[in-house]
Amino acid sequence: MAKRIDVSDLDIYYGNFKAVEGVNVSIEPRSITALIGPSGCGKSTFLRSLNRMHEVIPGARVEGKVVIDGQDLYGADVDPVDVRRQIGMVFQRPNPFPTMSIYDNVIAGVRLNGGKMRKGELDELVEKSLRGANLWTEVKDRLDRPGSGLSGGQQQRLCIARAIAVEPEVLLMDEPCSALDPISTLAIEDLMAELKERFTIVIVTHNMQQAARVSTSTGFFNLGGVGQPGHLVEFNPTEKIFSNPEEKATEDYISGRFG
């Protein structure tokens, strides 16, 4: 299931504004890649270009290539709606469908994909996904209750269960813990370590301890100044980034000597 991602010469635009410039990177399957860097340098924009969510904004487009296991994501014959279904995304604020039950939240993506499953199969999928998200024991007795009744950390794990229920090839997470307390954050980090065995995970985080704890590789994004495009300054094994980075800008950023 897990796939490799090869990005070459990627520029990302909002209308005439070039938000991200010249990204070249290869992301290995079954890995966690952390993207760090100051606010506004294009981390979220880059992440959304990996599942064609970027283009939902009018005037937004990309130039360059994103290839997932040999398939050109932006090829003429590729349906962006299919791509978004295959490449799951978890956002900063947990966004379960508030009036939907926990059960229905988990299978929402599968339903959208038009999958016809029998009740027994759905029950199994719900359990498997909630177990996968380390949420099953906490919610198994109230699957029919609304997802909005859960705590923030539980809601985020519910969103992860929803994302993994469709068995995505790649899982993108944009600051998934920034609205969570430290205990829930650790629960999500543990979960990521397990999910890495099956998925290719790319996570944006402003928490450098988190990047150091969970990721195999880290990419540091930066921008030259206001109005200039962000770019990928350095991409290396996480251990190297945090002990002996190649670029001075990376070192300045991770050691807090920034701006």
Residues in contact with ligand ADP by CB under 6 A are 14, 17, 19, 39-45, 57, 230
Nearer to Mg ion, 111 or 206 (CB): 206
Nearer to ligand ADP, 14 or 136 (CB): 14
Residue 219 binds what, of ligand ADP, Mg ion, none (CB under 5 to 8 Å, by partner type)? none
DSSP H helices, 66-181, are 80-86, 102-112, 119-132, 136-139, 152-165
How many CB atoms lie under 10 A from the CB of residue 97? 15
* Interatomic CA distance for residues 257 and 249, integer angstroms: 9
Question: Measured from the CB of residue 1, what is the shortest distance to ligand ADP in angstroms?
Answer: 27
Question: Measured from the CB of residue 92, what is the shortest distance to Mg ion in angstroms?
Answer: 8
Residues in the interface with Mg ion (CB under 5 A) total 1
Question: Measured from the CB of residue 12, what is the shortest distance to ligand ADP in angstroms?
Answer: 8
Nearer to ligand ADP, 199 or 221 (CB): 221
Residue 57 binds what, of ligand ADP, Mg ion, none (CB under 5 to 8 Å, by partner type)? ligand ADP
Q: For every residue of 208-238, which 3-state class applies, written as one string?
A: HHHHHHHCCEEEEEEECCCCCCEEEEEEEEH
Residue 39 binds what, of ligand ADP, Mg ion, none (CB under 5 to 8 Å, by partner type)? ligand ADP
**DSSP-based three-state secondary structure for 151:** coil
Question: Measured from the CB of residue 72, what is the shortest distance to ligand ADP in angstroms?
Answer: 23
Residue 94 binds what, of ligand ADP, Mg ion, none (CB under 5 to 8 Å, by partner type)? none
Question: Measured from the CB of residue 233, what is the shortest distance to ligand ADP in angstroms?
Answer: 13
Give the burial string for 123-160 (b: 16+ CB within 10 Å, else e): eebbebbbebbbbbebbeeebeebbeebeebbbbbbbb
**Cβ atoms of residues 211 and 34 within 8 Å:** yes
Residue 19 binds what, of ligand ADP, Mg ion, none (CB under 5 to 8 Å, by partner type)? ligand ADP
**Cβ atoms of residues 94 and 147 within 8 Å:** no
Residue 14 binds what, of ligand ADP, Mg ion, none (CB under 5 to 8 Å, by partner type)? ligand ADP
- Helix, strand, coil percentages (3-state) for the chain, rounded to 5, are 35, 25, 35
Q: Which tokens belong to 99?
A: 């009036």
Nearer to ligand ADP, 104 or 234 (CB): 234
44 belongs to the binding site for Mg ion (CB under 5 A): yes
Site residues, Mg ion (CB under 5 A): 44
